[in-house]
Amino acid sequence: MSTGEAPKKKKKNHLYQLDFVRLITFSAVILDHVLMGVEPISSTLVGGIELLCRYSRYSFFALTGFVLTYQYRKRELRPIEFWRRRFKLIGLPYLVWSAFYWLYAKYRHGGFAEIRVNFDNLDHLRLSAKSFGYDLLTGTAWGHLYFLFVSMQIYLIFPLALIILKKTWGYHRYLLAVSFICQAAVMYYMVRPPADFLTHGLQGVIWMHLVCTLIPYQFFVLAGAIAAMHYEAFQPFMIRWKRQLIAGGLVVIVATLVYYVHKVNVGEDMFRATNVFMLHNVFAFIAIIVILYCLGTVWQSRRRDGSLAAKFMAKAADRSFGVYLVHAVVCNEILQPIDGQRAFSETLRSSILVYILVVAITVYIVEALRRSPISLITTGRNMVSWREQNLGRCLIGVAGGLAAGVIFRFGFDMVVGNLLIGAALLLLVSTILSTVNKHRDAEPLPKELKPELV
């Protein structure tokens, strides 16, 4: 008979400050997407909020560079082993969700009939394979999947990058300076008509898909990596000077917003004024990342093991990747009936309501996925152990999900109800499996297999 799992080892050197940064950053992504769908495009106030939320794009990559380098800066990195592990954790979800969103886009265009048309003969199968292959190779099955595609590029080059960082110790400031100059040049040209030599050939193809390559984000990845390489100096500096850094960051943010309002007032298009690749906006993005890290160090110092806040933050960090993957479909479905009803949508109240709905439904779906056998391929994490799954809570979750799904589907005719019902049924199946496993685990061993006491 199994004696149960061994006690979990306490994580050493866990970067709790990054859990804080990660939670706020994922929240900002969802808020940006909600505001884009609910509020009027012409709103200067909303545009300013969206502008600040778009730091999240760069924060993700700074976090990636930081975490990878912190883990391997003082130990040997075996490239094959590293790639096998990393690509399993992100490559499988990328493949699964690319397929899901590719099919979902077809469904949204013409229902299940549109999906069937893509597979009803050999020619259509070829076209579908080509279309899906293109989306896989460009990270464009849905807008947010570019992050996974770029992350895999980071993983691909990271072993070499780590060697370079170790070999150039003492020169990192110069590497960072050169990186920023390149970053500034790329961002400057990205928001302007391309030069002639970028309109054809291989360079033209790369330029056309530049947003889903590492190139526009390399400075932030490198900045995160260098900060981690010098962690023993970087961390005390951020703690000691946090008040000054936060104050300076707020000044930069205010200056950016003032310039943004000025550009809008003189007639600049809102899309351009809030563009994530506008060079003058990048300083606010850096400021926000710095401020969040400083606040994260405050959380790190005040965190208490076993507290409600610590448990919440740990669970949020665990679910964050899954939330990022799932939120796009939930957000799109919640916004479908709102689209075109501007009388309802042009209110702060509706934005808050939609945001709460998107977060709640997304978290519910992710919880169902994390407890299921398909957790690894959908959330990048192994499923929550069946020994940790509480039967009563799971059944309450199933009932709640089914009830909410029925209300949304048949009360409001919203497809998001189907998502809730599907997640509830998945949770039910997982609960049954976990209950069966617990029952088997509790069964006594046959007498002949019991060890004799000596």
pLDDT of residue 453: 43
| DSSP per-residue codes, 338-369 | TTT-HHHHSSHHHHHHHHHHHHHHHHHHHHHH
| DSSP per-residue codes, 200-239 | SHHHHHHHHTGGGSSGGGHHHHHHHHHHHHTHHHHHHHHH
Residue 449 has pLDDT above 90, yes or no: no
Mean pLDDT of the chain: 90
d(Cα 204, Cα 309) in Å, to the nearest integer? Answer: 49
d(Cα 354, Cα 365) in Å, to the nearest integer? Answer: 16
Query: DSSP H helical segments within 230-347, as ranges?
Result: 231-240, 242-265, 270-273, 279-302, 308-335, 342-345
Element (H, E) at 4: none
d(Cα 34, Cα 441) in Å, to the nearest integer? Answer: 45
Cα three-residue angle 450-453-454, rounded to 5 degrees? 140
Give the predicted TM-score (pTM) of the model: 0.90
Instruction: Give the pLDDT mean for 401-427.
Output: 94
Instruction: Give the pLDDT mean for 273-281.
Output: 95
pLDDT of residue 388: 83
User: Which of 7-16, 178-187, 223-232, 312-321 shows the lowest mean pLDDT across its residues?
Assistant: 7-16
pLDDT of residue 389: 84
Confidence of residue 199 (pLDDT cuts 50, 70, 90): confident
pLDDT of residue 59: 97
Contact predicate 227/234, CB 8 Å:
yes
d(Cα 13, Cα 130) in Å, to the nearest integer? Answer: 45
Burial (CB < 10 A; 0-12, 13-18, 19+), residue 249, is buried
Q: What is the pLDDT of residues 66-86, one digit of tens each?
A: 999 999 999 999 999 999 999
Q: What is the pLDDT of residues 95-136, one digit of tens each?
A: 999 999 999 999 988 888 888 998 888 998 999 999 999 999
Confidence of residue 12 (pLDDT cuts 50, 70, 90): low
Residue 271 has pLDDT above 70, yes or no: yes
User: Which of 200-209, 230-239, 360-369 shows the lowest mean pLDDT across its residues?
Assistant: 200-209
Helix, strand and coil content of the chain, in percent to the nearest 5, comes to 80, 0, 20
d(Cα 254, Cα 245) in Å, to the nearest integer? Answer: 14
Q: Which two tokens stand for residue 9?
A: 């080892």
